[in-house]
Amino acid sequence: MSAFVVPFDDALTTEDVKLYIQDRLKESYKQLNGGIEFIEKIPRSPYGHVLRDELASRIPRREKEKEVEVEMNSE
């Protein structure tokens, strides 16, 4: 599971979000294994619905960037 967070202030950190989730979701399979991404705003349709496809399309790109980073560090 991944989280997309729109912070209200600049003081919010990924560690704050992780602790918040861990306190409320005790089951290990519900933890944020996919990471946390801070975004400016949640993408919405003209009708106000969350555009989940746009959010989901960001996840593989992040995973691919991590793979490239690991490859570069191993050289």
Give all strands (DSSP E) within the chain, no chain letters: 2-5, 35-38
Domain limits of the chain? 2-74
Q: Give me 28's structure tokens.
A: 């290990």
Residue reference for tokens 């949640």: 42
Q: What is the pLDDT, as a whole number, of residue 57?
A: 87
In tens, the pLDDT along 4-18 reads 999 988 889 989 988
Backbone φ and ψ for 34, nearest 5 degrees, come out as -85, -5
In tens, the pLDDT along 21-57 reads 888 887 877 777 778 889 999 999 999 999 999 998 8
Q: Give me 11's structure tokens.
A: 């003081």
As assigned by CATH, the class of the 2-74 domain is alpha beta
Counted residue by residue, the chain has a size of: 75
Q: What is the pLDDT, as a whole number, of residue 46?
A: 97
Where is pLDDT greater, at 50 or 1?
A: 50
pTM: 0.64
